[in-house]
Amino acid sequence: MQPYELSAAEAATLIAAKELSCEELARSTLAHIEAREPTVRAWSYIDPGQVLRNARELDKAPPAGPLHGLTFGVKDIIDTADMPTQYNSPLYVGHRPGKDAACVAVMRHSGALIVGKTDTVEFASSGRKAATHNPHNPAHSPGGSSSGSGAAVGDKQVQLAFGTQTAGSVIRPAAYNGTYAIKPTHGAVSCEGVRSASHTLDTLGWFGRSVEDLQLVARAFRLLGAEAAKPVELRGLKIGLCRSPAWEVADPYGRAALLEAGRRLEAAGATVFELDLPAPFNGLIKAQQLIARAENGPAFLSEYVGPKRHLLMRNYLDVVENVSGITPAQLIAAYDLAAECRRSFDAMFGAQLDAVLTPSSPGEAPEGLACTGDPVFNGLWTLLYAPCVAIPVGASPRALPLGVQLVGPRFSDMQLLEIAQACAPAIYENSILAAQA
Amino acid sequence: MQPYELSAAEAATLIAAKELSCEELARSTLAHIEAREPTVRAWSYIDPGQVLRNARELDKAPPAGPLHGLTFGVKDIIDTADMPTQYNSPLYVGHRPGKDAACVAVMRHSGALIVGKTDTVEFASSGRKAATHNPHNPAHSPGGSSSGSGAAVGDKQVQLAFGTQTAGSVIRPAAYNGTYAIKPTHGAVSCEGVRSASHTLDTLGWFGRSVEDLQLVARAFRLLGAEAAKPVELRGLKIGLCRSPAWEVADPYGRAALLEAGRRLEAAGATVFELDLPAPFNGLIKAQQLIARAENGPAFLSEYVGPKRHLLMRNYLDVVENVSGITPAQLIAAYDLAAECRRSFDAMFGAQLDAVLTPSSPGEAPEGLACTGDPVFNGLWTLLYAPCVAIPVGASPRALPLGVQLVGPRFSDMQLLEIAQACAPAIYENSILAAQA
């Protein structure tokens, strides 16, 4: 086994025991990236010399914590002091922010080895696509907008990576790339230094190769309520299987992933029951889309009035000009519906419900790179501010990974990770799923 | 009359007519700043040579719009590409961001002349105070955290300036410095590049010397719903005079300012009636404080884990360590109360109510610089996301300005400015107010 193949949690143990150096891990990582980059193209920036120098410095320094030396990718809409931050936009070629985003600084000061910047959909919104291919089947998309981060972790190029989710840009690529990920409760982690598209929706998340990997990062963020989290038993866990209002959009493999995950959990002793969301939740998918579009206006105004406006894709001009004619009343109705549903969603949990099990994506990753997939199974949870954890289930006959997500009430992030830790071994099988009508 | 004495709107007219050059305005501005800075100390950074060079470039360029050449101060928690951004923090001495904050970019591309960075309370939170004195009585505070911006506009050193409000840091300094200001609807203007303390509450605002000045900037931001705004007649305008749940905290001059403003509006033909907020609103002041404190945790984590932690004031360590023991349930209750009150506040407007008239501050600016005043009359409106416009009323016998604010429903910013435009001439008198028991 090569060092790059170790999960974050496995490598952390070896590094702490001095059985693996940060430099060894870095060299193995860089060699794997070099071999795979022509196929996967996950990266918008890597300086291997810088990575090795930083790894050697980490080996000289006293361990900064449990992330010491672990390999980390950073989506290229997130500021880094020592690397360009270009948003995959022609307006920002070579742009250098003056400091790390808060999330990058927290990882760096916790000992993580920042390997490079991962490719993204332009501004993590609806502009240019990343050049990234799905590592499991390069004819397919890795999803987006966190395309490079999902693919890099799914391809074992790094152990951990940051993504962001405004509709479904963390959980959906996690499913497509066969990896784990968390989109935490909105606001639980600072978005300072992360390019904003929609302040109500933008949420920082991260990818890992196991639930333990996700927990390592979550602990470094000192999430509110973390001290109340307790390990859970799978037996008796109450799981609400929610097809979601978008079920009709799911393909036969997306359906198979959800139903099979439910069956496997039940077989392992959990109590799984169908959960229908109350009627007002049917409006959340449209509300999320409307809020994103309305908030894109202020988010892209500075580029709109700036000297490089001619490099902006039409879509960004449209949102600033509000060509869809969104009114204050419509936007306020969307905000107020979301607030009402947040409250009623949280109230579902307790004696009757521990976690919601629901699709991560409509199913297989789309063919080609033109479409990064539909976030229709994600937008409502993002708008609910609810923490979501993506868990792989298996693969389709075309070797395309399939996944599901567990969703919990606001600020239950660490408890949801405990639930995911209990559920994940039962949910995942290295096998081909049969299509489900 | 010197050019620096012109309001933004007055100067814009002269510049458009080529009766005033940007350089003339800049020279007059710099001379006035030089004369006043030893007393007021509004600025953390000014490079007069750079200001003059930029002014001359503006004179050579075709007019970029109605802000062409107008003088603008930027609170030093807001990124500027060509000036340091230091947050009044020893952790960020000499820090240079790689680009302008979105709001600065919008102003710059609209032709504004960025004069310099204004002093602020550290991180616009509860750290070191600004060195700024109240220009009307230097023995007193200019308020905070937008101390320098409020004082600079109140002292006619610049025509316009950005501030930010998380509790009451725009509207309160506006009152203390005898100037106009708007805190727009939360989210109506991008906070990209503005140092964050509390993502739910942080709101960019601006100071001006008249309502028209505020409108000039508001138009450049293309606020949602702007096209629906119409000029209003003062006669028959329905104004709800709201003492607010904090009335007991108001001093005799704060009370006088509100009640006198109400009387003057009534005398000018408006319909003024006492407005009591529904009972749930009584919880908003505490909810705002709890949300700010909880959200400070993630906001200051990167400094907490970083190498300059020893330079952080105790308060920042406390919020990261959550020493006050805030629980998820408490935070969620505060969020949900706010959402409920936002909806019911908006519903009060319409046939029965055009705007709420309420105190901007407890009254006179505090003596000394140790305390920037109590934001108790601001936090609830900030949490309601409601637009607020500060309007001067007069002064106390100690020459300390007194003000009030008008508040409207979410996304009525441009209409609220029209209402303020109608009300302001009636509300303000250059006279001394008598104390009110």
pLDDT of chain B along its 437 residues, tens only?
A: 999 999 999 999 999 999 999 999 999 999 999 999 999 999 999 999 999 999 999 999 998 788 999 999 999 999 999 999 999 999 999 999 999 999 999 999 999 999 999 999 999 998 899 999 999 999 999 999 999 999 999 999 999 999 999 999 999 999 999 999 999 999 999 999 999 999 999 999 999 999 999 999 999 999 999 999 999 999 999 999 999 999 999 999 999 999 999 999 999 999 999 999 999 999 999 999 999 999 999 999 999 999 999 999 999 999 999 999 999 999 999 999 999 999 999 999 999 999 999 999 999 999 999 999 999 999 999 999 999 999 999 999 999 999 999 999 999 999 999 999 999 999 999 999 999 98
Between CA B338 and CA B287 the distance in angstroms is 8
Q: What is the pLDDT of residue B381?
A: 98
Q: A328, B411: Cβ pair inside 8 Å?
A: yes
My answer on whether omega of the bond before B145 falls inside 30° of 0, hence cis, is yes
% of residues, chain A, pLDDT over 70: 100
Per cent of chain A over pLDDT 90 is: 98
Cα B392 from Cα B402, distance rounded (Å) = 6
Distance between CA atoms of A166 and A127, rounded to whole angstroms?
Answer: 14
Cβ-count burial of B19 within 10 angstroms (0-12 exposed, 13-18 middle, 19+ buried)? Answer: exposed
Q: Any idea which residue has 């196991």 for tokens?
A: A210
| A194: amino acid identity, one letter | V
pLDDT of res. A64: 79
A298 by DSSP, 3-state: which?
helix
Residues of chain A in contact with residue B189, where contact means CB-CB under 8 angstroms, are: 298
Mean pLDDT of chain A: 97
Average pLDDT of the residues in A221-226: 95
pLDDT (0 to 100) of residue B425:
98
CA distance A356 to B168: 40
CB pairs under 8 A between A and B: 144
User: What average pLDDT is seen over chain B?
Assistant: 97
Give whole-number Cα distances, A101 to A112, A300, B23, B105, B245, in Å: 14, 19, 37, 20, 39
Which residue in the set A98, A105, A188 is minimally distant from B98, CB to CB? A98
Predicted confidence (pLDDT) at residue A349 exceeds the cutoff of 90: yes
- The shortest C-alpha distance from A339 to chain B (Å) reads 6
Give the gap in angstroms from C-alpha A323 to the nearest C-alpha of chain B.
12
b/e map A385-404, b = 16+ CB within 10 Å: bbbbbbbbbbbbeeebbbbb
Model confidence pLDDT, tens digit, residues A378-387: 999 999 999 9
Beta bridge partners of A74: A117, A162
What is the mean pLDDT of the segment spanning A347-351? 96
What tokens appear for A381 in the block?
């949870």
Q: What residues of B are in contact with residue A322 (Cβ under 8 Å)?
A: 224
The C-alpha atoms of residue A27 and residue B143 are separated, in whole angstroms, by 55
Q: Is A99 in contact with B99 (Cβ distance < 8 A)?
A: no
Two tokens at B48? 């007069």
CB contact under 8 A, A97 and B97: yes
Whether the pLDDT of residue A63 is over 90: the answer is: no
Instruction: Give yes or no for residue A126 having a pLDDT over 90.
Output: no
Å from B77 to nearest chain A CA?
Answer: 12
**Which of B100, B104, B190 has the most A C-beta neighbours within 10 Å, making it the best mutation to test the interface with A?**
B190
pLDDT exceeds 90 at position A127: no
User: In the 8-state DSSP scheme, what is residue B180?
Assistant: E
CATH number of B3-279+338-427: 3.90.1300.10
Question: Please, are residues B176 and B135 in contact by the beta-carbon 8 Å criterion?
Answer: no
Q: ipTM exceeding 0.95?
A: yes
CATH number of A1-437: 3.90.1300.10
Burial A92-119 (b: 16+ CB within 10 A, else e): beeeebbbbbbbbbbbbbbbbbbbbbbb
Which residue of chain A has the CA closest to B322? A224
Which among A300, A312, A327, A332 is the top mutation candidate for probing chain B, defined by the most B β-carbons within 10 Å of its own β-carbon? A332
Minimum-distance CB partner of A410 among B306, B322, B328: B328
Residues of A in contact with B99 (CB under 8 A): 95, 97
**How many Å lie between the alpha carbon of A136 and the closest alpha carbon of chain B?**
35
Q: Write the pLDDT tens digit of every residue in B382-403.
A: 999 999 999 999 999 999 999 9
Where in chain A are the domains?
Answer: 1-437
> What pLDDT was estimated at residue A124?
96
The shortest CB-CB distance from A339 to any of B103, B326, B339 is to B339
CB < 8 Å to B302, chain A: 100, 102-103, 105-106, 109, 190, 192
Q: Quick check: A339 pLDDT over 90?
A: yes
Bridge partners, residue A249, by sequence: none
Q: Do A302 and B105 touch (CB under 8 A)?
A: yes
